Structure 1
Amino acid sequence: MARLLLIKPAASFSNKRTEHLVKKLKLVVLLSSLAASGVAMAQAEAPKAPEPDYTLAYNIGAVTDYRYRGISQSRGRPALQGGIDFAHKTGFYVGTWASTIQWVKDAGGSSDAEVDIYGGYKFTGGPIGFDVGVLRYLYPNADISPSPFTTEIYVAGTWGPATLKYSHAVTNLFGFADSKNSYYVDLSAAFELPWWGLTFNPHIGRQNVENNSSSSYTDWSLGLGKDFGNGFSASLAYVDTNTSNYVGAGKNLGKATAVLGVKYSF
């Protein structure tokens, strides 16, 4: 009987302890479930950052030679460049860009700067991204005739890494007489390389100068680009053409060359 009296209280104590532990475990599980549900609901209900109505971006840089469509605009000399771009979330954009130049002075004028003003609309159609717009090239105080001021309309399509673009002059082209309806068509691409974050940029273009067939030519280039982050980037390109008819101060402005550029965007 003594043993029975001793065993019964022990068993009763053990059962109460077990029940107490079970209740604690149930409470812990319940609280954990509630906490997890709260976190999940908070994450699910967290509002997304609204898309800005527009972006405004600036850039400034320098190149060892300002080559445009394969032809040197700075007579093989370094050039300073910079621009401002405004883009609306609907796809509309406007911008301006400027560079120091030399060719207008070599042609007897006074301007040492090119100022571009452009605007357009970007949209997608299936897998292709389209860009249509108008671009005006200005040369302040040019003082040469015919005027080098030029207006072009353009359309471009991008599919994957490749972009095909057509530009059509609705005025005379860069001072060529009777050159309205000249055009430039080019194919370019941007391939991300597996080394050092480099981008490979091949390009080929054809400039047709209306009523000036001897001034029409083909240009091509092979380039590498590197984005260093924090707005800094650099580029290196080999540029060449098949013309020797563009001359400035006795220099062939279409001669093959390597061009190094640096840019800061903010």
Structure 2
Amino acid sequence: MKTKLTRKVMASAVMGVAMSAMANALVAVPAFAQEAKPEHEVSFNIGGVSDYRYRGISQSRLKPALQGGADYVNNTHGIYAGTWLSTIKWTKDAGGSGEVEMDLYAGKRGEITPDVTYDVGVLSYVYPSNGLKKVAGFADANTTEIYGQIGSGPFYAKYSHSVTNLFGFVNSKNSGYLDLGANLDLSEGYTLNLHYGRQTIKNNTASSYNDWKVGVTKELVGVNFSLAVIGTSADEKLYYTPAGKFTGKTSLVVSAVKTF
């Protein structure tokens, strides 16, 4: 699911098949039935990334981060819920405290037509003891968004709308993020990941920006590896580390995630 935004994992489909045959009048071949898709599924994931980028901006001071989460899916109704955590640096760099981000989310997905899917839900980004509201020029870092996504084949369009202040920006409720992308099969297990995003921050026009990603993913030995080039149009004077490094610069990011 920070991709928080997108971030985020879900259960693969399993199709049921039943077969039976009679070899002759005396010997019967037993029927074989593939295990039915369970109504309830729980999965876990753990991984690492060379630089935790969310909407193009580094959350980890351009350094590696550890990440992991858990997800529940009800396959009958398309309902899901989960949590995801990552180590971070940005709240401390902004003058607050805390080194962990915890995401809590829930939603519903399904089909509008056989060729069009939907996904709607709510996502809260929690930064325990971040203390930013005590820092001049900042609001509390904790943020909640509602979102909706439409997909068709490998293409998708998603919009997220904040119902609180956005990631510490003062008076930024009702900010929005548009996420357009595609995950294209390249054969032999490789997938091309394309993304373009637009973050608008309410009453903070100078801080709004675009971001983009071109990447490739492949699963090897049960681990999902990703290699991506990520960049933004963010203002270097507004997004930087304590050492003065631009957190939205174009960079190569590598990640590895194991789901079980």
Q: Match of 2:245?
A: 251
Deviation at 1:163, TM superposition (A): 1.2
Q: 2-side partners of 1:239 and 1:35: how far apart? A: 66
Q: Match of 2:57?
A: 71
Please list the CA deviations of residues 70-128 of structure 1 after superposition, one character each: whole Å capped at 9, or x if unmatched.
00000100000000000011111100000000010001111111000000001101111
Over aligned residue pairs, what C-alpha RMSD do you find? 1.5
Q: 1-side partners of 2:209 and 2:227: how far apart? A: 23
The amino acid of 1:85's aligned partner reads: D
Q: Match of 1:55?
A: 41
- 2:124 pairs with 1:136: yes
Please list the CA deviations of residues 26-55 of structure 1 after superposition, one character each: whole Å capped at 9, or x if unmatched.
xxxxx964268x33xx43xx5553331211
Q: 2-side partners of 1:170 and 1:53: how far apart? A: 32
Q: Match of 1:108?
A: 95
Counterpart selection for 1:154 from 147, 152, 156: 147
Identity %: 46
Deviation at 1:247, TM superposition (A): 1.4
Please list the CA deviations of residues 141-168 of structure 1 after superposition, one character each: whole Å capped at 9, or x if unmatched.
1011110100000001110001110000
Q: Match of 2:174?
A: 181
Select the structure of larger CA radius of gyration. 1
The amino acid of 2:84's aligned partner reads: W
Q: 1-side partners of 2:45 and 2:181: how far apart? A: 22
Unaligned stretches of 5+ in structure 2? Answer: 1-21, 134-138
Q: 1-side partners of 2:45 and 2:158: how far apart? A: 23
Q: 1-side partners of 2:33 and 2:253: how far apart? A: 47
Q: Match of 2:256?
A: 262
Relative to 1, partners in 2 of residues 1:52 and 1:214: Cα closer, same or farther, differing over 3 Å?
A: same
TM-score relative to the length of structure 2: 0.85
Counterpart selection for 2:207 from 215, 240, 260: 215
Q: Match of 2:219?
A: 227
The amino acid of 2:110's aligned partner reads: F
TM-score relative to the length of structure 1: 0.83
Q: 1-side partners of 2:109 and 2:189: how far apart? A: 27
Q: Match of 1:203?
A: 195
The amino acid of 1:131's aligned partner reads: D
SS at match of 2:173: coil
The amino acid of 1:80's aligned partner reads: L
Q: 1-side partners of 2:23 and 2:199: how far apart? A: 70
Decide which structure has greater helix share. Answer: 1
Unaligned stretches of 5+ in structure 1? Answer: 1-30
Runs of 4+ aligned residues of structure 1 deviating over 3 Å after TM superposition are none
